[in-house]
């Protein structure tokens, strides 16, 4: 049996290799055992899935195991976004949810996310306990399962319609009047994922002219990767320019991440989007609260926090850490450079559908293109330049540990002023530049994040980093 490990955001593996019906049942049994251990077996558990291959079948297998353990199970009636399923945990007062998804991974993958009763990502302590239950389940071969017909007969299984409840919540989060009075035109790219029809139908309801692309389910994702970044949004860029749209919005495979393109077809990075959203929530909505970002996310948020008199909280990489801060309350916005964010009044889980709608709302409020609003932000707060380098290194953990133990005193021409070890090693440099070095949790890579106050300095940082790896013959 393949070793089952929960990474940054759940367990993922290749279908028919590690991700098998047998292993899915083992994970479901472990979650059932954990649910009983914490005394929440009287509450229901939601089970959802995205558009990936065999998603519905795997969701039914999970339901068969949960109900065999006398746990009431609410099976979502159709492919649904992860944030919608997470919202359903709160709405239906469930003990948690199991989401069948591999998010933005290649199409040959599937996975399982466990969402506890607080409707956010599972903490490391919870995932560690689940792994312990998985090990025990494998050793004792104690998986239980019943037919779905028996589960229904025993009133342990119910198929639920989740979407209207989630959309009703979104209407409370978004200013529909502002959208209705706008002259926006939007292209929405669902990337063949579970978010298909969510953003586009909401905009249509608000009277916003829009067109949806890649809004049909496709387990192969059209031969592309369902990741809404610069590389994989070429079709969206083309459609925005050809249709002379105001902006383009996209979601990944399970719609917990967002992607944005301006009216010229230029990709807006998640760092830029987070800065724009913070600006919008303060200026146009008048909201306050803590700003929470990961160690890898832009320090322009720090400048904005100082200007607005708000607290800035830095967390390790992973939305679970942002979610923990949100659960404490009073978080205006929490976000990460990989395209996940949530805001005040919402669940402590990243939500690409909500973020896309907020970006459209922002453009409607300002009556400007995203590029123009971004320029306004830079005029007020200054501009920072950032990049991420993924460097192949088989012995990545050993190399990073050496770097953490003995970091360099200089990177290029810039002196290291402060060393932080919240996650990997972060080197704060003179002139306001910084570099973060951390190993990938899933690949033989070292991820190196750089941010500088000007483009020339950013290039010098990149050059210095490339020289490190040339020296070790990578």
Assign residue 21 the CATH number of its domain. 3.40.120.10
- Position 69 scores a pLDDT of 98
* Whether the predicted pLDDT of 441 surpasses 80: no
Last residue of a domain, one of 358, 381, 404: 381
- How far apart (Å, rounded) are the C-alpha atoms in residues 414 and 405? 20
- Say if residue 206 is in the same domain as residue 343: yes
- Position 418 scores a pLDDT of 95
* Whether the predicted pLDDT of 137 surpasses 70: yes
Mean per-residue pLDDT, 245-265: 98
Is residue 47 in a domain? yes
How many percent of the chain have pLDDT more than 90? 90
- Position 5 scores a pLDDT of 84
- Position 303 scores a pLDDT of 98
* Whether the predicted pLDDT of 307 surpasses 90: yes
Q: Could you tell me the CATH number of the domain that includes residue 446?
A: 3.30.310.50
- How far apart (Å, rounded) are the C-alpha atoms in residues 269 and 341? 13
- How far apart (Å, rounded) are the C-alpha atoms in residues 80 and 262? 27
- Position 395 scores a pLDDT of 77
- How far apart (Å, rounded) are the C-alpha atoms in residues 18 and 105? 15
Q: Give the pLDDT band of residue 442 (cuts 50, 70, 90).
A: low
- Position 6 scores a pLDDT of 82
Q: Give the pLDDT band of residue 472 (cuts 50, 70, 90).
A: low
In the DSSP assignment, the letter for residue 216 is: S
Strands 445-452, 385-392: pairing is: antiparallel
Strands 209-213, 185-189: pairing is: parallel
- Say if residue 374 is in the same domain as residue 389: no
Is residue 167 in a domain? no
Last residue of a domain, one of 100, 132, 162: 162
- Position 400 scores a pLDDT of 81
Q: Give the pLDDT band of residue 396 (cuts 50, 70, 90).
A: confident
Mean per-residue pLDDT, 175-198: 97
Mean per-residue pLDDT, 342-352: 97
Q: Give the pLDDT band of residue 474 (cuts 50, 70, 90).
A: very low
- Say if residue 346 is in the same domain as residue 457: no
Instruction: With H, G, I as helix, E, B as strand and everything else as coil, classify residue 252.
Output: coil
* Lookup: tokens for 89: 């945990």
Mean per-residue pLDDT, 378-384: 97
- Residue 17: CB atoms within 10 A of its CB come to 11
Is residue 110 in a domain? yes
Q: 179-217 burial, b if ≥16 CB within 10 A, otherwise e? A: beebebbbbbbbbbbbbbebbbbbbeebebebbbbbbeb
- Say if residue 234 is in the same domain as residue 361: yes
- Domain region containing 423: 385-471
- How far apart (Å, rounded) are the C-alpha atoms in residues 422 and 414? 22
Strands 340-343, 331-336: pairing is: antiparallel
Residues in the chain: 474
- Say if residue 434 is in the same domain as residue 457: yes
Is residue 5 in a domain? no
Q: 426-455 burial, b if ≥16 CB within 10 A, otherwise e? A: bbebeebbbbbbbbbeeeebbbbbbbbbee
* Whether the predicted pLDDT of 135 surpasses 60: yes
- Say if residue 200 is in the same domain as residue 120: no
Q: Give the pLDDT band of residue 2 (cuts 50, 70, 90).
A: low
- Say if residue 180 is in the same domain as residue 136: no
How confident is the model over 4-58, as pLDDT tens digits? 888 767 899 999 999 999 999 999 999 999 999 999 999 999 999 999 999 999 9
Mean per-residue pLDDT, 193-220: 97
- How far apart (Å, rounded) are the C-alpha atoms in residues 147 and 65? 9
Is residue 37 in a domain? yes
- Say if residue 262 is in the same domain as residue 120: no
Is residue 435 in a domain? yes
DSSP sequence for 410-464: EETTEEEEEEE-SSSEEEEEGGG-EEEEEE-SSSSEEEEEEEESSHHHHHHHHHH
- Say if residue 233 is in the same domain as residue 146: no
- Say if residue 397 is in the same domain as residue 302: no
Mean per-residue pLDDT, 215-241: 96
- Say if residue 300 is in the same domain as residue 190: yes
* Separate counts of helices (H) and strands (E) for the chain: 16, 21
How confident is the model over 451-461, as pLDDT tens digits? 999 999 999 99
Last residue of a domain, one of 355, 381, 407: 381
Where helices occur in 104-233 by DSSP H, the ranges are 124-140, 148-153, 163-173, 176-180, 198-205
- Position 8 scores a pLDDT of 65
* Whether the predicted pLDDT of 469 surpasses 90: no
Q: Domain count of the chain?
A: 3
Mean per-residue pLDDT, 181-206: 97
What integer best gives the mean pLDDT of the chain? 95
Is residue 256 in a domain? yes
- Of the CA atoms within 13 Å of residue 329, those in its CB half-sphere come to 0
What dihedral do alpha carbons 460, 464, 466, 467 form, nearest 10°? 140
Choose between 466 and 193: higher pLDDT. Answer: 193
- How far apart (Å, rounded) are the C-alpha atoms in residues 389 and 20? 33
- Say if residue 186 is in the same domain as residue 296: yes
- Position 1 scores a pLDDT of 52
Is residue 4 in a domain? no
**Predicted TM-score (pTM) of this structure:** 0.95
Closest CA to 32 of 19, 43, 20, 41: 41
């Amino acid at each position: 049996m393949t070793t089952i490990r929960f990474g940054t955001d759940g367990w993922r593996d290749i279908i028919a290799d590690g991700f098998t019906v047998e292993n899915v049942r083992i994970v479901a049994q472990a979650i059932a055992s954990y649910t009983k251990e914490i005394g929440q077996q009287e509450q229901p558990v939601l089970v959802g899935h995205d558009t990936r291959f065999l998603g519905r079948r795997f969701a039914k297998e999970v339901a068969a195991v949960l109900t065999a353990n006398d746990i009431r199970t609410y099976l979502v009636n159709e492919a649904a976004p992860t944030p919608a399923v997470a919202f359903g945990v709160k709405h239906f007062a469930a003990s948690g949810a199991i989401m069948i998804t591999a998010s933005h991974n290649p199409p040959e993958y599937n996975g399982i996310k466990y969402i506890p009763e607080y409707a956010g990502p599972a903490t490391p302590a919870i995932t560690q306990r689940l792994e312990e239950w998985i090990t025990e389940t494998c050793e004792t071969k104690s998986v239980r399962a019943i037919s779905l017909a028996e589960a229904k007969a025993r009133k342990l299984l119910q198929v639920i319609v989740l979407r209207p409840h989630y959309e009703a919540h979104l209407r409370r989060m978004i200013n529909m009047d502002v959208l209705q009075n706008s002259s926006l035109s939007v292209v929405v790219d669902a990337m063949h994922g579970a978010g298909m029809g969510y953003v586009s139908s909401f905009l249509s309801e608000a009277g916003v002219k829009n067109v949806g692309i890649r809004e049909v389910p496709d387990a192969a994702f059209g031969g592309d990767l369902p990741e809404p970044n610069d590389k994989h949004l070429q079709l969206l860029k083309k459609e925005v320019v050809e249709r002379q749209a105001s902006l383009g919005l996209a979601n990944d495979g399970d719609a917990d991440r967002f992607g944005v393109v301006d009216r010229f077809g230029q990709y807006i990075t998640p760092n830029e989007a987070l800065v724009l959203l913070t600006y919008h929530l303060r200026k146009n909505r008048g909201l306050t609260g803590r700003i929470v970002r990961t160690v890898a996310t832009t320090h322009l948020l720090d400048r904005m926090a100082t200007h607005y008199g708000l607290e800035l909280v830095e967390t390790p990489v992973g939305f679970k850490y942002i979610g923990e801060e949100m659960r404490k309350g009073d978080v205006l916005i929490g976000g990460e450079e990989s395209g996940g964010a949530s805001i005040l009044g919402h669940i402590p889980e990243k939500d690409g559908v909500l973020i896309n709608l907020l970006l459209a709302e922002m453009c409607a409020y300002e009556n400007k293109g995203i590029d123009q609003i971004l320029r306004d932000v830079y005029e007020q707060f200054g501009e920072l330049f950032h990049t991420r380098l993924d460097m192949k290194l088989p012995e990545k953990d050993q190399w990073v540990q050496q770097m953490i133990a003995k970091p360099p005193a200089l990177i290029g021409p810039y002196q290291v002023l402060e060393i932080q070890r919240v996650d990997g090693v972060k080197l704060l440099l003179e002139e306001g530049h910084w570099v973060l070095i951390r190993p990938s949790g899933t690949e033989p890579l070292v991820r190196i994040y750089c941010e500088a106050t000007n483009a020339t300095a950013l290039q010098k940082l990149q050059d210095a980093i490339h020289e490190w790896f040339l020296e070790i013959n990578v």
